[in-house]
Each structure stands twice: as structure tokens, then as C-alpha cells.
Amino acid sequence: MHQFPHTRLRRSRMSSFARTILQENWLTPQDFIYPVFILPGQDRREPIPNMPGIERVSLDLLIDAAKHWHRLGIQALNLYPCIDPALKSDDCQEAYNPNGLAQTAIRALKDALPGLGLISDVALDPFSSHGHDGVIDGKGRVLNDETLEILAKQALSHAAAGADIVAPSDMMDGRIGIIRKALESDGFTDTLILSYTAKYASHYYAPFRTALGSSGNLGKKDKSSYQMNPANRQEALLEAEQDIQEGADILMVKPAGHYVDIIHQLSQAYPIPVFAFQVSGEYAMQKMAIEQGILPPEIVMESLLCIKRAGARAIHSYYAIELAESLSH
């Protein structure tokens, strides 16, 4: 008879209670940040065709929904304004309008729900006539330093409106430093900066760009001159080191599911928190596969557990509300 060693690893998997007790990572509603798309006007909601179950909503409807989400345990929202196309311009002035859609939404949500965390996206693609995250020259090149000045104004306008966290997602060099300096100079010393440190030039963003209304402006152009090459890993360390030195409080990896090695690498290399963004394409693929019976619904929990296991402290996910509902029961 074959003699086994003393340790049989299957012993810990044989019963449900043992698997539960010995589970190393868990998800709770507090782990999720919910991205929301905001429309101007009142009593408006628009389904997003390539993101089943996700809608753009006007601020009045968002406030009512956010009260319920907060009761479920959702701690923060990530806000994306879908502005009137007529307000988009080459110089992106609407980005720092103190009475713009994003700024108005931050104030209203803070008034209604002071304890709900608000993360504001700092980038110019929702406001640009060309769909890029920065201003461009006559040849269509995205200008780094000229963009920084606008990003600093945008971040300040969000902080003044009451944003808890400003989240530069543009991937311009030096933007954390100039935003931190602007915040400190204007007295916003408590405003956190969530830096999209490792934002890859991914095709998984396609549904998001349609939802935001920037895909038509961007056309066939891409963002590979400023977002990271999906083939690169060490470059993420350089980005993180720079962001931390410039004053970032939290690092972000985006997308999440296919970049868990980057999440793990950054979470192991640096003591500050690492967040991850399960992006629109990841959501849409899973949602459509579930609806067509190709994958079981449990794939959602599995995918998010893997992201947390890799080292993410919090996860931006369009599944946040759906999972918070189920986890709260």
C-alpha cells in the first residue's frame, strides 16, 4: 500500500465548514467602489447598450440611489460626467468650471450623504472635442505640460466642491506633483490623490468610452502615446515610484483582471494602498457570457476574489451594487 506523507492538503477541502473557515480572502460591500455616469437635467436615465444593467442617470436619481447603496455598505462612488457635447472644446475649459456637471454633482451628493466617499475623475477626455485625455497641438500630439495646468485647475475645482479623493487618470508625466502642489497651496491638505499609476492602453475600455460619449470624438486614434504598453511590467514600478515621490496616497491598476500580476507587484513593493479597476470591457464580457449561459454567475465573485487575492485594497467594479445586495442578505 502506498504510504502518504503526514500532510494531506485535501483534508482542508473536504467539508464546507472547513473550506469556509480556512478561506484566505473574502469580499464585502466595503471592498467595492461603484463607478457612475451622470447626466445633466432631471429625471433622466439612459441604458448603456454595451454595458447591460448599467445606466447613465441624472443627479436627482443618483442621489436617491446612492442613499440605498450607502446603506448596503458601499463606501465610495467614482463619478463620471456625461456632458452636453456642445460644451466640449479643444481647450477643455468645461473641465474646471466650478458650476460644471461634475462639480455640481459632488456638492449635491456631499450635502445629501456627507459620509459617502466621492472620487472624482481628473482627466480631459469627457471635455475634449478630440477624445484625448489632454490638449493637443496642430499635429494631433497630446501635449504633456500644457495639459498639466488644466488638470491642476480641474482637481482644485473638484476639491473645492467637496471631493474626498481626486483621481488623475490621464497618465501625463508629472501630474501628481502639480496637483499636490495646487491642493496644498489652496489649503486642501486633506484631499487624497488616487493616481492611475498603471493605466494600460487597453481595448477593454471600449464600452466605457461609448458610455462617456468620447468614443466618437476619439475615432480611430488611440492613447498609446501616454497609456502604458500591455507588454510592460517593470515600467509600472517606475510609474509608482514617481507617483509616490510626487505625493500620491493610493495607486491604481487598470484594467484589473488581466493585470493581477501588476496589482501584486505594486502591493508587494510599496506600503501605500493599491486599488484596481475592473473595467467596462471586463464587466461586459462576463455579463453577456452569463446572460447567454456560457458562464455561470459565480464567475463574477471568482474574478473579483482573484483581484483582491492579488493585493487590491479596494476594487472599482460595475458589479458593486449587485454583489453588495447579495452579500448583505
| Number of folded domains that form the chain | 1
Half-sphere exposure of 232 (CA within 13 A, CB side): 15
User: For the stretch 38-73, what's the b/e string if a residue is b when 16 or more beta carbons lie within 10 angstroms of its beta carbon?
Assistant: bbbeeeeeeebebbeebbbbbbebbbebbeebbebe
CA dihedral for 56, 58, 35, 132, sign (positive or negative): positive
Q: Contact 316/277 with Cβ under 8 angstroms?
A: yes
- CATH code of the domain covering residue 71: 3.20.20.70
pLDDT of residue 217: 58
Tens of pLDDT along 49-58? 899 999 999 9
Residue with cell 476574489: 305
pLDDT in tens, 140-178: 899 999 999 999 999 999 999 999 999 999 999 999 999
- Quick one: pLDDT band at residue 7, thresholds 50, 70, 90? confident
Are the beta carbons of 281 and 54 closer than 8 angstroms?
A: no
289 in any annotated domain: no
Whether 50 contacts 209, CB under 8 Å: no
* Position 219 pLDDT exceeds 70: no
Reported as a pLDDT band with limits 50, 70 and 90, residue 5 is: confident
143 and 96 Cβ atoms separated by less than 8 Å: no
Instruction: Look at residue 203 in the predicted model and tell me its pLDDT.
Output: 93
The helix/strand/coil state of 288 is helix
Per-residue pLDDT at 214? 59
Q: Helices 59-72 and 101-112, interaxial angle, to 10°?
A: 40
Return the active site residues: 199, 254
Residue-level pLDDT at 134:
87
Per-residue confidence band for 215, with pLDDT thresholds at 50, 70 and 90: low
Tell me the C-alpha distance between 287 and 270, whole Å. Answer: 33
Q: What is the pLDDT of residues 122-135, one digit of tens each?
A: 999 999 988 788 88
Kindly state the average pLDDT of the residues 319-323: 96
Structural domain contains residue 320:
no
What's the pLDDT at 130? Answer: 83
Q: How confident is the model at residue 216 (pLDDT cuts 50, 70, 90)?
A: low
Is pLDDT of 4 > 80?
no
- How confident is the model at residue 190, as a pLDDT? 97
Domain of residue 53 covers 27-247
Pairing of the two strands 32-39 and 274-278: unpaired
Looking at residue 143, the DSSP 8-state letter turns out to be: P
- 263 belongs to a structural domain: no
Within a domain: 288 = no
Mean pLDDT of the chain: 94
Q: Is residue 220 part of a domain?
A: yes
DSSP state of 305: H
Whether 244 contacts 294, CB under 8 Å = no
Pairing of strands 76-81, 314-317: unpaired
Quick: pLDDT tens for 176-199: 999 999 999 999 999 999 999 999
The residue with cell 479596494 is: 314
Closest CA to 251 of 169, 176, 199, 194: 194
Q: Does residue 296 sit within a domain? A: no
Please tell me the distance from the alpha carbon of residue 64 to that of residue 87, in angstroms, as a whole number: 27
Q: Let me know if residue 253 belongs to a domain.
A: no
**Does residue 119 fall inside a structural domain?**
yes
Number of neighbours of residue 184 by Cβ within 10 angstroms: 12
